Chain A
Amino acid sequence: MDLTDWVKLAAFVGAGLSMGFGAIGPGVGEGYAASKACEGMGRQPAVADELLRTMLVGQAVAESTGIYSLVVALLLLFRDFSVVRFIEVPAFLAAGLCMGLGAIGPGVGEGLVAGSACESIARNPETSPVIVRTMLVGQAVAESTGIYSLVVALLLIFVI
């Protein structure tokens, strides 16, 4: 194997790590949100529309780190491998690990927020504007480490 093969190997394994680990968090979180929305609708069918809307908004935010993982994986897969350096081997592996693992926490956390928001709206539908606002603020904070992971992964891919 020459160096090009090693760099390709690292990029492809990195892409797998990024998308594989990165799918865990959003998957769990969005499922939790959906389960709470269903629970709420069962209890309060009158607010079904409000619950569906809140669930979808919350899930869209929880999905974001999954999309970052996809972007990092695609960047690694479709690189130009004509000029390679040894240091790209660890850098690509690390980029995949960083974005993949980093997507777990925000995905789960933001899903929990969306689920609780649905639960609360089902219990107290009049307060839904303030609950949605709190949900989005909380999710924005929980998103931050996902964005750090994306930044570090992009640094590892493009700056090294």
Chain B
Amino acid sequence: MDISGVDLVRAAALLGAGLSMGFGAIGPGVGEGIAAAKACEAIGRNPREAGLLTRTMLVGQAVSESTGIYSLVVALLLIFVV
């Protein structure tokens, strides 16, 4: 088989896409889970603040999600644009 430099660059881009989204999904998944876990714990201790806690949890998770979305964007760029 003939593999040119262009093929290898494309190959590297696709591998990079997998690595980007794969590793990039670890952090937000764990972090958002910890946030939700502590929110459940706090609601169990103080149920009257459930609304406030749910709101705070979602805001915190949204921020924590951001790096996951960066990973997705970079992966899609590597697959379709580069």
Residues of chain B from 14 to 47 with CB closer than 8 A to chain A in the complex: 14-19, 21-41, 43-45, 47
Q: How far is the CB of A104 from chain B (nearest CB, A)?
A: 5
Other-chain contact of A149, B25, B33, B43, B62 (Cβ < 8 Å): B25
Other-chain contact of A127, B23, B30, B47 (Cβ < 8 Å): B47
Q: How far is the CB of A30 from chain B (nearest CB, A)?
A: 12
> Contacts A98-B17, A106-B25, A138-B33 given; 8 further ones with Cβ under 8 A?
A86-B11, A95-B18, A109-B36, A134-B36, A142-B61, A145-B24, A148-B72, A149-B25
Task: State the B residues within 8 Å of A (CB).
Answer: 1, 3, 7, 10-12, 14-19, 21-41, 43-45, 47, 50, 53-54, 57-58, 61-62, 65, 68-69, 71-72, 75-76, 79
- What would be 16 A-B contacts, judged by CB atoms less than 8 Å apart? A29-B33, A94-B14, A97-B18, A102-B29, A105-B27, A106-B33, A108-B29, A113-B37, A115-B37, A116-B40, A119-B40, A134-B39, A138-B40, A145-B28, A145-B68, A149-B21
Task: State the A residues within 8 Å of B (CB).
Answer: 2-3, 6, 21, 25, 29, 65, 86-87, 89-91, 93-113, 115-117, 119-121, 123-124, 126-127, 130-131, 134-135, 137-139, 141-146, 148-149, 151-153, 155-156, 159-160
A90 & B12 in contact (Cβ 8 Å cutoff): yes
In the bound complex, residues from chain A placing their C-beta under 8 Å from that of B75 are 98, 148, 152
In the bound complex, residues from chain B placing their C-beta under 8 Å from that of A101 are 19, 22-23, 25-26
Other-chain contact of A105, B19, B30, B40 (Cβ < 8 Å): B30
A96 & B18 in contact (Cβ 8 Å cutoff): yes
Interface centre among B7, B33, B58, B65 (most CB of A within 10 A): B33
